[in-house]
Amino acid sequence: MITALIRRLAEMVFVMVGISVMVFLIFFATPGSDPAARIAGRNATQEAVAQVRVDFGFDRPLPVQYVLMMKRLFVDRDLKSFVNRGQNVIPQVLEATPITLSLVFGAAVLWVIGGLAVGVIAAATQGSLIDRTLMVLALIGVSMPVFWFGEVMNLLSQARFHDTWLFSWVPALGYKPLSEDPWGWFKTLVIPWFSLAVLYIGIYGRVLRANLVEAYQEDFIRTARAKGLSPARVMLRHALRTSLIPFITMFGLDFGVLVGGSALLTEVVFGLNGIGRLTYIALQNLDLPMILATVIYASFFVVLANAVVDFIYIFVDPRMREA
Amino acid sequence: MTDATSPSETPAAAGTATGRPQSPFRRAMVKLWYDRAAMIAASVLVAIVITCLLAPVYAKYVSGTDPFRSSLSAKIMIDGKRVPVMAPSTEGLGLGVTPIGPTFGAKYMLGADTQGRDVAARLLYGGRNSLLIAGAATLVCLFFATLIGVTSGFFGGATDVVLSRFLDVLWAFPVYLLAISLSIILIAQGLTIGPFTIESGSLLLPIGIIGVIYVPYVARPVRGQVIALKRSEFVLASIGLGIPRWRILFFDILPNVTTTLIVFVPLMMALNIVTESALSFLSIGVQPPDASWGTIIQEGQGLLYNRPMVSVAPGIAIVITVLALNILGDGVRDAFDPRSKLRPR
Amino acid sequence: MTCLPTGSALRRGLAAAAGLLLASTALMHGASAAEDRAALMAAHRGGTMRLVANAAAGTIDPMVNYTSQFWQLYQSTYDGLLAFKHVNGTDAFTIVPDLAEEVPAPSADGKSYTFKIRKGIKFSNGQDLTVKDVVASFQRIFKVASPTAGTFYNGIVGADACLKTPADCTLKDGVVADEAAGTVTINLVAPDSEFFFKLAVPHASILPADAPAKDVGTAPIPGTGSYMFASYDPNTQLKLVRNPHFKEWNVDAQPEGYVDEVDYDFGLTEEAGITAIQNGQADWLFDPPPADRLPELGSKFQNQVHINNLMAFWYAPLNTNLAPFNDERVRQALNYAVDRDALAGLFGGSVLADPTCQILPPGFPGYKPSCVYTQDPGEAWSAPDMDKAKELVAASGTAGQKVTIITEDTAVSKAIGTYLQSVLNDLGYDTSVKPISANIQFTYIQNTKNNVQISISQWFQDYPAASDFLNILLSCASFTPGSDASINISGYCNKDLDAKMKSALALAVTDQAAANEEWSKIDAAFMEKAPLVPLFNPKRVDFVSGRLGGYTFSSVFQWLFANAWVK
């Protein structure tokens, strides 16, 4: 167990170093990426540009620059942006985190409940019209690009029907901190939550239904049903329990990826300044320190989620423990 | 659907052992043929592809405009009146210029975009690009995934360790961030490999990028399957008989992997269409003046309040296409590999 | 309204806003301005104003920041020795004494100026302003590597040494203090007609002598202005409060503000910002309103919209060293072919942009209306001349060549690029467009290594002098091959015109009017060679809340928030 943990940790570190090196190299391979003139300001003299180059260490060999940057990111914790002079990147990432967490948490609650409901109801009414309708809806949910759905939601709630009772409560786009204005926080996030969750409700509902249907063919369920247990009890106590393992795996991975910044399309469409949007803007501006910070942060969550899922597996599934 | 599969049915892998690899394939095709939902989806897809291929015909004979040329000062006839395509506001201070809205006629059926171009015609041209990119990217992805997955699984050892770690790094890199970093660089400078140069506006770039980012999602299951096959009795038997490794690779392993790949095709296509549109939406996919469904949505974003149709129409096109691909994908999976729980993201 | 530049479209646009403006501006011009101001102050003083923007503009250091977004704020937080007058329109081009008691006359050789520093002025931290602070501030320009250190302040004696080794910068013979007399003398290497302007921009702000000798980033430096920065977080908010030690000394240079506090919030999209103002939750938005909201603003909210001329132009630099634009005829052809009305439409319509075919913007010193590249050449542009353009291209024999247009990835820039692509295709070229992130594009198109043929760019004035457009954008000295800092994007070096610009600069020291005359000729001479395609002069749309009064727009630093009230 301990060695597995240590091995896992070593792997995590390896992957994160790999990613940061990759990002670093990609950056320096890009034309126009030399930030010296941008930092120096418009119409700066050649001397000013040269001075910036020396001040920021752009004249040093790449490996040295990489090590220095990592040191400033992790040891000194004062790595500064290339685009917004004097702006520390770590606080930026820390400030964006609660926004992304709020978005992903809320959406996760929605999609777990929704996914469970869709999967269980569809499996219970297998073959009926309800089942078919739910599965078609789930498939439509899976097929909609999230950014487009978000835009349509914006169109409806911010413009077309904003003045009607339906959406008059919807505040302007943007984020309100939970600590300052809990009700405002909730109101601004409801539509983003829903938009982000639709895709996952579809996926989870479909997967859960398939697993439940499969479970019903297993011997232990047949036994349970033969014993005369109520259908609800069979479903909730027996079938659902075994079917939840892949559900948990998927949830862990999806959650990690989203917290790591993959909710960026939702964040861009709804004007939420979360990690995804921060990364996207940093990439567009070729702001290397910010890119490094956000990408390392993102990969950390993805790798962590992978590891957690592995351990949960060992916990939940006794067969894995023995292996 | 899944429930139709009886558990007693022979899995695809067992079929090859008898030495008649075409038989399970044909059986699956027959099964697919009788899957009504899948066939409807397939027909819808064929219809979409044909419609999109007719884009030049539509532009020339129906809309009568060049969908790649700005027509900011053009005027068209509607109900016997000459109407400017780009109408300056006349109310109050007269701020802003609004493109013509949906006429539901032959010209500007879905309205004009900010450059005064016919959205309906662009939608068809955009569809060609979206489908082409998604299809080609699927092939790229499956090719590399097979190469990596089979190499890694079949040869094992150091090769496996290196390739698996490489996949790990790619895997942990959030897909969109990877795609964005690659796009931003490649679109800025194009790509030069040896004597070949891909220009920055080329469609090959989005194809390559989208193809590459999903490689781990396919390569991992392929690798797993190859490892399982290597341990299976019929391969062990072949090894025992002294059959050369390359023969085992090509005649025993690859045909079995192909089934997995076929199941992946429609699902990856669906995924790639959505990814392409997302990248284009972030303006790092297809480059102007070329269109794709994603770029049209993106260009329509600035008109969302006044002319929502510009953004809504391509979105609907995406939903219908992806939905059809997903339904077809379900059918293909049920027919070819009913036991698998493949779920590409 | 005489102070405003003329223009039929502008007149129309301003008619609605005029009602609101007239009250304050007319009073300011009157003889009893001071009394009226006192009355207004009594009626409207107090309250909190909320400004919003998409994003902050980086460092708060007034010697390093080079953005119009924060320069606007520095007007009321920091002072230089001199200032641009805080009034409406082009009157703001006037230089007035700020921390100096008066605008000094030059010495006989025109190379030195002696400033008498006002007494009794305190920084917002309570420290007295002394001549030492003035000397230290000029040294600091070089120590923090201010972007303009090498372009604006390199004419001070000793500046060359400071540029080489900034850490040891003294400007010993360049900026000389006389503590007893309370004066500071600045010695120049050569007479400079624009030196006063350079002293009035934020990079020459006077800061406490003990201000850190490096870019302060997000930690504000105390200033002498009517407001001070209380806190700054680029992600959320910049807060300005009254400077407790401020006493008004010259209403033209540093007027006392009406509101008690200014909250400048970041992170709101333009859409959200517009909605917030409509709902009365914000008073002003920095970013231009999104195109699809313009019709709504212009009709339903026309009393809250202010439209003003910007001293700026959008243009397409043509690389004069690369085919096909190394051929003068091709450059002229494109100038003839461009439909500038259509381009104005892409910017929001004829009310928001005026077509132009020259480099200097209307109302600027040296501006003389002229347009060669139109159907009936004269003072104004009327319609594109496609036939002439095609003739010129045919004569050049370059048709069929490949052209790539580099634009920013903003909506307007991309739209202009797409339009120019259509035009170039019509002229027979094989054209493509390449949008690049707005942050990178500006340096990317400057570097000759990137082989950019044609791009879309904008130039906004730093200070009102013709050289700020012509000399900076087109002089041989502004062209450095292989560097990211080569603002002569066209790479156009015309020895003859370069010499003329030098003599115009020298002439301005003695005779500004004659020099301006020269500049208009230079403007026309450059346009004959067409190293760039001027597209249009943009206008600023300010959308303010219903409660905001006293709107004043300076042609130099745009909206002056200190002159506005919310009560």
The strand pairing partners of B136, in sequence order, are none
* Alpha helix positions (H), chain B: 12-17, 22-33, 36-53, 55-57, 119-155, 157-172, 175-189, 204-213, 215-231, 233-240, 245-247, 254-281, 293-300, 309-336
Structure confidence at residue A109 (pLDDT): 94
Q: Touching A: which chains, 3+ CB pairs < 8 A?
A: B, C
Structure confidence at residue C216 (pLDDT): 87
Structure confidence at residue B8 (pLDDT): 38
Cite the beta strand spans of C100-195 per DSSP E: 112-116, 175-178, 183-187
* The three-state (H, E, C) secondary structure of A89-127, written as one string: HHHHHHHHHHHHHHHHHHHHHHHHHHHHHHHHHHHHCCC
| C401–chain A Cβ distance below 8 A for any pair | no
Instruction: List the end-to-end C-alpha distance of chain C, in Å, as a whole number.
Output: 25
Interface of B with A in 274-303 (CB under 8 A): 274, 277-278, 281-282, 294, 297, 301
Query: Residue B305 and residue C296: Cβ atoms within 8 Å?
Result: yes
Q: How far apart are CA B125 and CA B139, in angstroms?
A: 22
Query: Residue A262 and residue B176: Cβ atoms within 8 Å?
Result: yes
3-state secondary structure of C437: coil
Question: In angstroms, what separates the C-alpha of B324 from chain A's closest C-alpha?
Answer: 9
The arrangement of strands across the sheet holding C430-436 comes to C430-436, C402-408, C454-455
Structure confidence at residue C537 (pLDDT): 95
Q: What is the pLDDT of residues A253-280, one digit of tens each?
A: 788 888 877 788 898 888 888 888 888 8
Q: What is the pLDDT of residues A128-183, one digit of tens each?
A: 899 989 998 999 998 999 989 998 888 888 777 777 777 878 777 778 888 888 88
Chain C residues in contact with A51 (beta carbon < 8 A):
145, 166
> pLDDT at residue C520 above 90?
yes
Q: Which amino acid is at A118?
A: V
Q: What is the pLDDT of residues C187-199, one digit of tens each?
A: 999 999 999 999 9
User: Does domain B43-51+119-340 fall into CATH 1.10.3720.10?
Assistant: yes
CATH class of segment(s) A100-274 = mainly alpha
Q: What is the pLDDT of residues C345-361, one digit of tens each?
A: 888 888 899 999 999 99
| Residues 6 or more apart in contact with residue C335 via CB below 8 angstroms | C357, C372, C373, C527, C530, C533
Structure confidence at residue A198 (pLDDT): 92
Phi, psi of C214 (to 5 degrees): -145, 165
Q: How far apart are CA A131 and CA A213, in angstroms?
A: 12
Of B96, B287, B307, the CB nearest to C434: B287
Structure confidence at residue A314 (pLDDT): 67
Q: What is the mean pLDDT of chain C?
A: 88
Give the range with max mean pLDDT: A179-183, A185-189, C234-238. Answer: A185-189
> pLDDT at residue C36 above 60?
yes
Q: What is the pLDDT of residues C77-119, one digit of tens each?
A: 999 999 999 999 889 999 999 999 999 999 988 899 999 999 9
Give the residue carrying structure tokens 């010695």.
C187
Of C148, C215, C440, the CB nearest to A86: C215
* Share of residues in chain C with pLDDT > 70 (%): 94
Q: Which amino acid is at B235?
A: V
Contact C549, C284 (CB under 8 A): no
Structure confidence at residue C384 (pLDDT): 93
The strand pairing partners of C554, in sequence order, are C89, C558
Structure confidence at residue B262 (pLDDT): 87
Interface of B with A in 240-279 (CB under 8 A): 270, 274, 277-278
Q: How far apart are CA C325 and CA B189, in angstroms?
A: 21
Q: What is the pLDDT of residues A4-45, one digit of tens each?
A: 778 778 877 887 888 888 888 877 776 666 788 877 777 777
Q: How far apart are CA C371 and CA C534, in angstroms?
A: 10
What is the phi-psi region of residue B196: left when phi exceeds 0, alpha when psi lies from -120 to 50, beta otherwise?
A: beta
Cite the beta strand spans of C243-298 per DSSP E: 261-266, 284-285
Of B169, B305, B322, the CB nearest to A18: B169
Which of A42, A53, A280 to probe by mutation at the C interface, max C CB count within 10 Å?
A42
Structure confidence at residue B7 (pLDDT): 39
Q: How far apart are CA B216 and CA A298, in angstroms?
A: 18
Residues in chain A: 323
Query: Residue A45 and residue C149: Cβ atoms within 8 Å?
Result: yes
Q: What is the pLDDT of residues C371-404, one digit of tens each?
A: 999 998 888 999 999 999 999 999 999 999 999 9
Q: How far apart are CA A100 and CA C416, in angstroms?
A: 35
> pLDDT at residue C283 above 90?
yes
Query: Residue B92 and residue C409: Cβ atoms within 8 Å?
Result: no
Q: How far apart are CA A221 and CA A215, in angstroms?
A: 7
Q: What is the ipTM of this complex?
A: 0.82
Chain C residues in contact with A45 (beta carbon < 8 A):
149-151, 154, 163, 485
Residue B72 Cα distances to C416, C532, C552, angstroms: 11, 22, 35
With vertex at residue C265, the alpha carbon angle to CA C264 and CA C267, rounded to the nearest 5 degrees, is 145
Q: What is the pLDDT of residues A82-109, one digit of tens each?
A: 877 667 888 888 888 899 999 999 999 9
Strand C261-266 relative to strand C237-242, pairing: antiparallel
Question: In angstroms, what separates the C-alpha of B50 from chain C's closest C-alpha?
Answer: 28
Contact C565, C549 (CB under 8 A): yes
Domain ranges (residues) in chain B: 43-51+119-340, 56-99
| B90–chain C Cβ distance below 8 A for any pair | no
| Residues 6 or more apart in contact with residue A182 via CB below 8 angstroms | none
Contact C40, C550 (CB under 8 A): yes
**How many residue pairs bridge chain B and chain C with CB atoms within 8 Å of each other?**
124
| B256–chain C Cβ distance below 8 A for any pair | no
| A205–chain B Cβ distance below 8 A for any pair | no
> pLDDT at residue C238 above 60?
yes
Instruction: List the end-to-end C-alpha distance of chain B, in Å, as a whole number.
Output: 20
| A45–chain C Cβ distance below 8 A for any pair | yes
Contact C59, C217 (CB under 8 A): yes
The mean per-residue pLDDT over the stretch C434-453 comes to 85
Q: How far apart are CA C48 and CA C548, in angstroms?
A: 11
The pTM of this model reads 0.84
Of A32, A147, A299, the CB nearest to B281: A147
Cis, peptide link before residue C191, omega less than 30° from 0: no
Contact C158, C149 (CB under 8 A): no
| Residues 6 or more apart in contact with residue A36 via CB below 8 angstroms | A49, A50, A52, A53, A56, A58, C484
Structure confidence at residue C15 (pLDDT): 37
Q: How far apart are CA C88 and CA C255, in angstroms?
A: 13
Q: How far apart are CA A216 and CA A234, in angstroms?
A: 9
Structure confidence at residue B172 (pLDDT): 67
Contact B105, B267 (CB under 8 A): no
Structure confidence at residue A319 (pLDDT): 54
Question: In angstroms, what separates the C-alpha of C480 from chain B's closest C-alpha?
Answer: 22
Burial state string for C477-496 with b = 16 or more CB within 10 A and e = fewer than 16: ebbbeebbbbbbbbbbbbee
Which structure tokens are listed for B191? Answer: 């790509």
Query: Residue B89 and residue C299: Cβ atoms within 8 Å?
Result: yes
Of B72, B89, B287, the CB nearest to C294: B89
Of C417, C418, C435, the CB nearest to B283: C435
Query: Residue C147 and residue A43: Cβ atoms within 8 Å?
Result: yes
Chain B residues in contact with C299 (beta carbon < 8 A):
89, 91-93
The alpha carbons of chain A give a radius of gyration, in whole angstroms, of 24
The mean per-residue pLDDT over the stretch C294-298 comes to 88
Query: Residue B93 and residue C421: Cβ atoms within 8 Å?
Result: no
The mean per-residue pLDDT over the stretch C229-241 comes to 89
Exposed/middle/buried for residue B30 (C-beta within 10 Å: 0-12, 13-18, 19+): exposed
pLDDT-derived band at C48, boundaries 50, 70, 90: very high
Structure confidence at residue C8 (pLDDT): 35
Of A85, A174, A284, the CB nearest to C267: A174
Which structure tokens are listed for C92? Answer: 């703001």
3-state secondary structure of C424: helix
pLDDT-derived band at A317, boundaries 50, 70, 90: low
3-state secondary structure of C176: strand
Query: Residue A140 and residue B327: Cβ atoms within 8 Å?
Result: no
pLDDT-derived band at C12, boundaries 50, 70, 90: very low
DSSP state of A260: I
Which structure tokens are listed for B57? Answer: 């015909």
Chain C residues in contact with A36 (beta carbon < 8 A):
484
Following CA atoms C553, C557, C561, C564 in sequence, which dihedral angle do they give, to the nearest 10 degrees? -20
> pLDDT at residue C366 above 50?
yes
Domain ranges (residues) in chain A: 100-274
> pLDDT at residue C252 above 90?
yes
Contact C331, C453 (CB under 8 A): no
Question: In angstroms, what separates the C-alpha of B142 from chain C's closest C-alpha?
Answer: 30
Q: Which parts of chain B register pLDDT below 50?
A: 1-21, 341-345
> pLDDT at residue C455 above 90?
yes
Query: Residue C292 and residue B303: Cβ atoms within 8 Å?
Result: yes
| Residues 6 or more apart in contact with residue C250 via CB below 8 angstroms | C96, C97, C98
Query: Residue C298 and residue B92: Cβ atoms within 8 Å?
Result: yes
pLDDT-derived band at C174, boundaries 50, 70, 90: very high
| A139–chain B Cβ distance below 8 A for any pair | yes
CA C363 to chain centre: 14
